[in-house]
Amino acid sequence: MSFDWVDAKIIMLAMLSLKLTIRYVYLANFGLMAASLNL
């Protein structure tokens, strides 16, 4: 097992978590906007 493989796996996990975080923030903002429009 080489360090390059470990680094690549960590980078891939970091990118995946960042992508999920952006998606959740986008969905939360969209939900707040929809709620304010319904008021």
pLDDT in tens, 1-38: 566 888 999 999 999 999 999 999 999 999 999 999 88
> Which backbone phi and psi does 2 adopt, to 5 degrees?
-100, 160
pTM check: above 0.75:
no
Number of domains composing the chain: 1
Alpha-helix residue ranges (DSSP H) falling in 1-39: 3-38
- Print the domain residue range for 28: 1-39
Q: Which two tokens stand for residue 19?
A: 């992508």
Q: How far apart are the first and last CA of the chain?
A: 57
| Distance, CA of 17 to CA of 9 (rounded, Å) | 12
